[in-house]
Amino acid sequence: MRRRPDVEAHDLVAADASDRLILESAGLDRPESAREMRPSHAFEHPKQHIPATPTATSHVGSVVVVGDRYGALALPLAAAGLRVLVHQDALSGERAARLNAVAVGLAQASDVDSIVVPGVTWHPLDGDLFAGATLVLMQLPRSLGALDEIAGLIADHADPAVHVVAGGRVKHMTPAMNGVLARHFATVTADRGVGKSRVLRASDPRARVDPSAVRPGSSGRRARPGALTWPRTERDEATGLTICAHGAAFAGAGVDIGTRLLLSVLDQAPDASRVIDLGCGTGVLAVSYARAHPDARVIATDQSSAAVASATATAMANGVAAASGSAPHSPLGGPPGVTVVRDDALGAQPDASADLILLNPPFHSGAAVTARIAPRLFADAARVLRPGGELWCVWNSHLRYRPQLGALVGTTRQIVRDPKFTVTASVR
């Protein structure tokens, strides 16, 4: 398994013991067991397999996989002949899974987004993904909000007999995860740790709704005790923005302190007509610029599907969404306002097409801290900026990105600095 096109390094892995443990705990760790396992038997001992009979095989249904990082969960199941419905938040992870399928002979080589993996389909995170599901495998997300949103969707839309097998590395798990699952499931248990990994199991969804009892015009959902509504919406008084955030969106429905520092000097940025918010998160920078420059064409781009959905909702909530029907990958020539795009960095944007790029670069890849992401974004920004265009970037001061910005983009000056963050402007 490899991570490409995501960042690769000796300390950044594409799979770990938690992937294997999830499959083992669901009784799907070997091809023969996967072919023979009924989803309803997923909570039996992982070594207790159903005899290979036509009846058993005919009862194998689809398996829903959420949070598979680079294909380590979905591809073994597809190789065993199961139908796998997958949601991966990161576009780079989805592309890596397709490329890994080619590498192991499950798929034919093609343009990465056109690679067809037999038995595997990719889906948005919504009720349709879980409709009627009896088995859900999940890599536990870092965010409790993301876990709450996923668990709520499963409880509301999956089969009442659904079983959830969710795993991760012990060092990234907390007891609060059990509590989040317990909001949505009556039965939540934790297995013993194995190889520094652990599995949580959930079943018996709470507060299921009888469709015949739903009032006309209602959502068809009954709130469970402590359940949250996604996306969450909050008003930030300092900026006057209404911010919408799905569970996996960075900083949630608030404004992180780095972005807030960049916002404090955003009025000093050039008056540009073609603007990109790279790694947009909930779209705070894109929406703020669009509100101050009503004629600007702003693209907000992120590889996270949760970020794209959040930024889209934020732009609409603040009245700056571009007119519907604008081309998703060429908004810089379209109508004014904010158009949101799911993209790996700026892969869909043409060279020398932007006047201004705004960036608060991440330094995490999943749970791993890495300084390798930002330079890739700087280089991509340099390609997309027109001559004389500017990259305005906020970064943790201890990371000392200024030499890299100067080398990759162009002359770089400091705009503002506080004890934790620095804002710079680099001219192409």
Of residues 18 and 331, more confidently modeled: 18
Q: Are the C-beta atoms of residues 360 and 344 closer than 8 Å to each other?
A: no
Q: What sign has the CA pseudo-torsion 214, 217, 220, 225?
A: negative
- Token readout for 4 is 């490409």
DSSP state of 200: E
Any idea where the domains of the chain sit in the sequence? 17-213, 232-427
- Shortest CA distance to 346 belongs to which of 357, 336, 337, 355? 357
Q: Is 347 exposed, middle or buried (0-12, 13-18, 19+ CB in 10 A)?
A: middle
The neighbour count for residue 218, using CB atoms within 10 Å, is 10
- What average pLDDT score do residues 59-68 get? 81
Q: Are the C-beta atoms of residues 413 and 380 closer than 8 Å to each other?
A: no
pLDDT at residue 87 is higher than 80 = yes
Distance CA 100, CA 284 (A): 35
- Predicted confidence at residue 224, as pLDDT, reads 63
**18: helix, strand or coil:** helix
- Predicted confidence at residue 144, as pLDDT, reads 96
Domain pair 17-213 / 232-427, same fold: yes
- Predicted confidence at residue 247, as pLDDT, reads 95
Least confident segment among 39-43, 126-130, 384-388: 39-43
Which residues, 6+ apart, have CB-to-CB distance to 111 below 8 Å?
Answer: none
CATH code: domain 17-213 is 3.40.50.150
DSSP state of 104: T
Least confident segment among 1-10, 21-30, 147-156, 400-409: 1-10
Q: Are the C-beta atoms of residues 100 and 68 closer than 8 Å to each other?
A: no
Which residues, 6+ apart, have CB-to-CB distance to 368 below 8 Å?
Answer: 11, 12
Least confident segment among 161-175, 177-191, 206-220: 206-220
pLDDT digits (tens, 9 = 90+) for 313-337: 999 999 999 986 545 555 566 779 9
pLDDT digits (tens, 9 = 90+) for 247-278: 999 999 999 999 999 999 999 999 999 999 99
Place of tokens 């009924």: 38
Task: Report the half-sphere exposure of 283 (CA within 13 A, side-chain side).
Answer: 37
Q: For residue 45, what pLDDT band results from cuts at 50, 70 and 90?
A: very low
Phi, psi of 155 (to 5 degrees): -60, -35
Length of the chain: 428
pLDDT digits (tens, 9 = 90+) for 199-248: 999 999 997 544 444 444 444 445 566 667 899 999 999 999 999 999 99
pLDDT at residue 143 is higher than 60 = yes
Rg (CA), the chain: 23
**Mean pLDDT in the chain?**
87
**Is residue 244 within a helix (H) or strand (E), and if so which, with residue range?**
strand 241-245
Q: What CATH superfamily classification does 232-427 receive?
A: Vaccinia Virus protein VP39 (3.40.50.150)
- Predicted confidence at residue 6, as pLDDT, reads 78
- Predicted confidence at residue 335, as pLDDT, reads 79
Least confident segment among 59-73, 272-286, 296-310: 59-73
- Predicted confidence at residue 410, as pLDDT, reads 97
pLDDT digits (tens, 9 = 90+) for 339-398: 999 999 999 999 999 999 999 998 654 555 556 789 999 999 999 999 999 999 999 999
- Token readout for 75 is 């591809």
**98: helix, strand or coil:** helix
pLDDT at residue 300 is higher than 60 = yes
